[in-house]
Chains A and B, each alone.
Chain A
Amino acid sequence: MSTDPSLSPPEETLLLEPRDSLRTQTFTLAFVLIAVSLVAFPFLGLQWAIVICVAVLLLFLLGSRNSVIAAVKWKQPSLQVSSTPYDLGSTPTVVYCRRPKRVRDISPFNVECLLVCEEKVTYRQGTDTRTDKRRVFERRFDGTGEGSTEGLVAELELEISAHMGAPSLDLPNNEVVWFAEFRISDAQLPRDEHTFVIKVAPVLDPAHRVGLQDT
């Protein structure tokens, strides 16, 4: 989570960077390539080590083709959210923004957002440590965005469930994480997706409190 001063978000908001960005994937790839070459070189020789590294690189490029093409022409997206965590049952509006690296005309585009609440646990079985995840809430929100001086900009109203999922939780072996997966469909932008982690507080939205329910 960090801020980009060039976009200067309004007060009481912050700009989120996506989780698992292309930068992280590139570091992972570099690590894998070094590990593969260190293992393959002593046993198979230089030629085979190079062949295996090239194969790994091609697989990576094939798998993240859209992300790589998008990263060449577009900067990393950001999500403008409230600086305070969202309440259970609230309906916040978030702003998705992605700037091109060069000035270009931007036509209206479709944006899909999948809001997810996921439970994640770790447990020991013998000497292994295992992880298990389960999505306990999922809802899709669709919208349209427009080109602006900031690039692609789309406003979406989300709905944090009061009936499913739980507030964000971060214990050593038990976690509850809320995140929004954004996908953009546009002729100028390859279809790639980004995930933004958002915080949900253990506070019930006033609309769900006693005496205030919608009957």
Chain B
Amino acid sequence: MMQLELDDIVCPIGHHFRGTLTRQPDADGLSSTSKARSVRLVLRMYTEGRGDTDRSEIAGLNFDLQSHGGLSVPFALAVPEGSPISYDGTLIRIKYEIEAKVDLKLARDEKFARQVLVVPEGGMGVYDRPHPLPRLAS
């Protein structure tokens, strides 16, 4: 069982998504025969809408699991300047997700993903949804 706790699901360009990645040990936590070997954590951008999908890995981290398959580590995934922002347009939607994928020996990899929001620099506290910015009530 994997858990991905984020300090905030919103992050401006040029900052980091921070949080903690936790995986419960297999069985009783004493066994050293876990099939789980490592976890890859990825911040991914992808498009939806009328056009063909564009998809890219924005940032990634690798963590080795302990012999019983357990793990609890803090992480920080950078959103580099020049990355697209989350966008809900007419023909195009740009979405972000953080995915944790456990490498399991001789088995289908275990995946867990959470949707996140990348906002323009200076947009923290202004956005609670993808761009465009909602008009402020006058």
**Chain A residues with a Cβ under 8 A of chain B:** 88-89, 119-124, 132, 134, 136, 161-167, 169, 171-174, 176, 201-206, 208-210, 213
Contact = CB atoms under 8 A, between A and B. Distances in A.
Interface stretch (B3-11, B21-29, B123-131): B123-131
15 contacts: A121-B91, A123-B50, A124-B52, A162-B132, A163-B134, A169-B84, A174-B54, A176-B89, A176-B92, A202-B121, A204-B121, A204-B123, A204-B126, A206-B122, A210-B126
B61 interface: no
Contacts of B66: none
Contacts of A164: 132
Which among A121, A164, A172, A204 has the greatest number of chain B C-beta atoms within 10 A?
A204
B128 to A, nearest CB: 12
Given A121-B50, A164-B132, A169-B84, A209 B123 contact: yes
B53 A173 contact: yes
Interface string B25-65: 00000000000000000000001011111100000000000
A177 to B, nearest CB: 12
Q: Is the interface of B mostly helix, strand, loop or mixed?
A: loop
A160 to B, nearest CB: 12
B126 A208 contact: yes
A174 B133 contact: no
Contacts of B117: none
B84 A121 contact: no
A121 B123 CA distance: 26
B120 A88 contact: yes
B85 interface: yes
A166 B83 CA distance: 13
Given A88-B131, A176-B92, 16 more contacts: A88-B133, A89-B133, A122-B52, A124-B52, A136-B90, A163-B132, A164-B132, A165-B132, A166-B131, A167-B85, A167-B120, A173-B54, A174-B47, A174-B91, A204-B119, A204-B133
Contacts of A163: 132-135
Contact of B125 (A124, A161, A206, A210): A210
Which are the 6 A-B pairs with shortest beta-carbon distances?
Answer: A121-B51, A210-B125, A171-B54, A204-B122, A173-B52, A203-B121
Contacts of A132: 50-51, 91
A161 B85 CA distance: 15
Contacts of B126: 204, 208-210
B52 to A, nearest CB: 4
Contacts of A88: 120, 131, 133
Which among A119, A132, A201 has the greatest number of chain B C-beta atoms within 10 A?
A119
A119 B91 contact: yes
Given A88-B120, A164-B132, A171-B47, A119 B125 contact: no
B107 interface: no
Nearest to A89: B133
Which among B87, B92, B131 has the greatest number of chain A C-beta atoms within 10 A?
B92
B136 interface: yes
Contacts of A206: 122
Contact of A174 (B92, B120, B121, B125): B92
A165 B120 CA distance: 13
